[in-house]
């Protein structure tokens, strides 16, 4: 597959303050790319957190269409939202607090994950109530020290699962773990986690439990560590066209070579400037007057702020001295002064542009325009957080509009390849 590029999005329509545009053709393109990268492993597309801010149901449907065998979410509630929308394919969730109601998930054939014997018993109780054996996966803590059972705790978890299986209450469909540092190619944690995982698998077999699907890899594992792919890979961020290891991938406008080449960013955040104006040398901008114009200039008011998920840490001068930038009239324009709750200001460098001029906060990086990674770097964070915050502000109760577009460009480029 050649690294197809999507056609540029049309700018926001007049009157649109701000919108999140989600390119479903890019989702399908990335899912196909990841299926190919996964080799013989099956692909799970991770759609937790409202598909990293891109919209759970729309992304899930696009991922299934492009051949994602599995979907993955964090919570039972996210899984049930998918079932309610008619998705009846393989689906895993992995995070709950004691007292979680598992009945709906068990009845709907959702795979649930247990970290502890107590969780196995809760799931088994749900199976007794619903009259359906629960699909259960077990999580090993191989060194992330987050969810899952450590090796000393593992035998008890396996024993609880075996007992519930013996009672016909559960079917163990998988055994899995999560990598801590797969985005750093030489980090020793990846190899050591693989070793612990192998030990847990053989211990389960010794104790009489077949592990089911074995899975370990996130996006970074899938792209950078082929021997972590096992039976199934769980790809989140790469689905959304963001490289899980940008420091490895090189310059950010979509790596052109190496693992992950050809991923296309899915989310574009754009709108229309609320206002433009001239300011004089010596005028200071935004709260606290942290930026002062050195010469006469023009500025543009971007009607988006931290209530819309834009990180306030991206206020000038930005983390590490790199200002965040906004694409206006074919150029990057630096944010000046503090990002406010509803708005931020960019320096237009003296250019006279009318109010209502289109802007793009971030998107595909076309023509050198800023990406979510540029915003993340300016704010001292990662692009995962930028997407999830801004996209999340566009969720059901958010005030930001979110629009899904499907121009089908992925299909055209595939035909061209054929
Ligand atoms: C979020 C998550 C993933 C996806 O990670 P990416 O780095 O976005 O690919 C995979 N597995 C688990 C358990 C997760 O929580």
**pLDDT single digits (tens) 31-84:** 999 999 999 999 999 999 999 999 999 999 999 999 999 999 999 999 999 999
Q: Report the candidate in 146, 149, 92 with the shortest Cα–Cα distance to residue 120.
A: 149
* Domain spans, the chain: 24-240, 267-405
Task: Please list the residues that pair with 235 across neighbouring strands.
Answer: 45
Closest CA to 271 of 368, 379, 393, 402: 402
Distance CA 69, CA 63 (A): 9
Instruction: Report the relative pairing of strands 232-235 and 42-46 from DSSP bridges.
Output: parallel
- The pLDDT value recorded for residue 2 is 43
Task: Please tell me if the domain spanning 24-240 has the same topology as the one spanning 267-405.
Answer: no
Q: Which atom of ligand 1 is nearest to the CA of 384?
A: 8
Nearest residue by C-alpha to atom 13 in ligand 1: 178
**Mean pLDDT over residues 98-120, rounded?**
98
More confidently predicted of 255 and 180: 180
Query: Is 372 a pocket residue for ligand 1 (Cβ < 6 Å)?
Result: no
Tell the residue nearest (CA) to atom 15 of ligand 1: 74
Q: Please tell me the class of the 24-240 domain.
A: alpha beta
Q: What is the mean pLDDT of residues 266-293?
A: 97
Q: How far apart are CA 324 and CA 178, in angstroms?
A: 32
The Cα 278–Cα 190 span in angstroms is: 54
Considering the chain, what percentage of its residues have pLDDT values greater than 70?
Answer: 95
pLDDT digits (tens, 9 = 90+) for 127-166: 999 999 999 999 999 999 999 999 999 999 999 999 999 9
Where does 184-324 show beta strands of DSSP type E?
213-217, 232-235, 267-272, 275-279, 284-285, 291-292, 297-302
On the question of pLDDT at 1 being above 50, the answer is no
The answer to the question of whether 280 is labelled as a binding residue is no
Shortest-distance atom of ligand 1 to CA 147 = 13
| 244 Cβ inside 6 Å of ligand 1 | yes
CB burial of residue 153 (10 Å; 0-12, 13-18, 19+):
middle
Please compute the mean of the pLDDT values over residues 279-293 and round it to a whole number: 96
CB 69 within 8 A of CB 261: no
Identify the residue with better confidence: 251 or 226. Answer: 226
When pLDDT is averaged across residues 249-271 and rounded to a whole number, the result is 78
State in Å: Cα 137 to ligand 1 middle: 16
Q: What is the structure's pLDDT at 3?
A: 47
Any ligand 1 atom below 6 A from CB of 218: yes
Report how far Cα 50 is from the mean position of its chain's Cα atoms: 9
In whole angstroms, give the CA distance from residue 18 to residue 129.
Answer: 47
**Thinking of the domain 267-405, which architecture would CATH place it in?**
Beta Barrel (2.40)
Give the distance from CA 156 to its chain's centroid: 33
pLDDT at res. 414: 65
User: What's the confidence (pLDDT) of residue 399?
Assistant: 85
DSSP string, 312-357: GGGSTT-GGG---EEEETTEEEEEES---SS-EEEE-TT----TT-
Percent helix, strand, coil in the chain (nearest 5)? 35, 25, 40
> Would you state the pLDDT for residue 126?
98
Per-chain mean pLDDT for the chain: 94
Strand partners, 382: none
Ligand 1 center to residue 323 CA distance, Å? 29
- pLDDT band of residue 317 (cuts 50, 70, 90) is confident
Q: Tell me, what's the pLDDT at 318?
A: 75
Mean pLDDT of 336-359: 97
* CA gyration radius, the chain: 23
Active-site residue, 48 included: yes
Cα(386) to centroid(ligand 1), Å: 16
Q: 236 in ligand 1 pocket by Cβ < 6 Å?
A: yes
Position in ligand 1 atom list of the atom nearest CA 176: 13
Told to judge if 277 belongs to the known catalytic residues of this protein, a careful annotator would answer no
Percent of residues, the chain, with pLDDT higher than 90: 88
Q: How far apart are CA 228 and CA 27, in angstroms?
A: 23
Q: How far does residue 396's CA lie from ligand 1's centre (Å)?
A: 23
Consult the annotation and say whether 1 binds a ligand.
Answer: no
């Amino acid at each position: 597959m050649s690294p197809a590029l999507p056609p540029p999005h049309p700018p926001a329509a007049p009157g649109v303050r701000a919108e999140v545009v989600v390119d479903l053709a890019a989702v399908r393109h990335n899912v196909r790319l990841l299926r190919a990268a996964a080799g013989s492993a099956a692909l799970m597309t991770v759609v937790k957190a409202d598909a990293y801010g891109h919209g759970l149901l729309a992304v899930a449907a696009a991922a299934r269409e492009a051949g994602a065998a599995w979907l993955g979410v964090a919570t039972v509630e996210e899984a049930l939202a998918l079932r309610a929308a008619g998705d009846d394919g393989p689906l895993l969730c992995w995070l709950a607090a004691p007292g979680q109601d598992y009945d709906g998930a068990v009845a709907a054939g959702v795979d649930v994950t247990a970290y502890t014997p107590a969780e196995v018993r809760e799931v088994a109780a749900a199976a007794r109530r619903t009259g359906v054996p629960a699909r259960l996966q077990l999580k090993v803590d191989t060194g992330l020290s987050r969810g899952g059972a450590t090796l000393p705790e593992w035998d008890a978890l396996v024993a609880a699962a075996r007992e519930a299986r013996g009672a016909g209450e559960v079917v163990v469909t998988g055994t899995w773990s999560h990598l801590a540092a797969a985005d750093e190619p030489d980090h020793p944690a990846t190899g050591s986690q693989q070793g612990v995982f192998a030990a847990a698998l053989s211990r389960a077999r010794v104790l009489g439990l077949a592990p089911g699907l074995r899975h370990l890899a996130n996006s970074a594992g899938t792209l950078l560590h082929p021997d972590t792919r096992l039976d199934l890979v769980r790809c989140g961020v790469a689905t959304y066209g963001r490289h899980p290891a940008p420091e490895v991938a090189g310059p950010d406008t979509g790596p052109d070579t190496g693992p992950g080449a050809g991923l296309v960013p899915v989310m574009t955040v754009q709108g229309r400037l609320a206002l433009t104006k001239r300011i004089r040398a010596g005028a200071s901008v935004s709260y606290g007057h942290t930026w002062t114009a050195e010469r006469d200039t023009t500025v543009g008011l971007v009607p988006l702020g931290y209530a819309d998920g834009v990180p306030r840490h991206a206020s000038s001068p930005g983390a590490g001295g790199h200002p965040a930038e906004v694409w206006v009239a074919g150029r990057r324009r630096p944010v000046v002064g503090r990002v406010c709750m509803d708005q931020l200001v960019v320096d237009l460098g003296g250019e006279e542009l009318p109010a209502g001029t289109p802007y793009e906060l971030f998107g595909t990086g076309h023509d050198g325009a800023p990406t979510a990674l540029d915003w993340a770097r300016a704010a001292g964070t990662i692009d995962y957080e930028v997407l999830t915050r801004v996209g999340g502000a566009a969720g059901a109760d958010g005030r930001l509009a979110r629009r899904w577009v499907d121009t089908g460009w992925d299909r055209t480029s595939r035909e061209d390849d054929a």
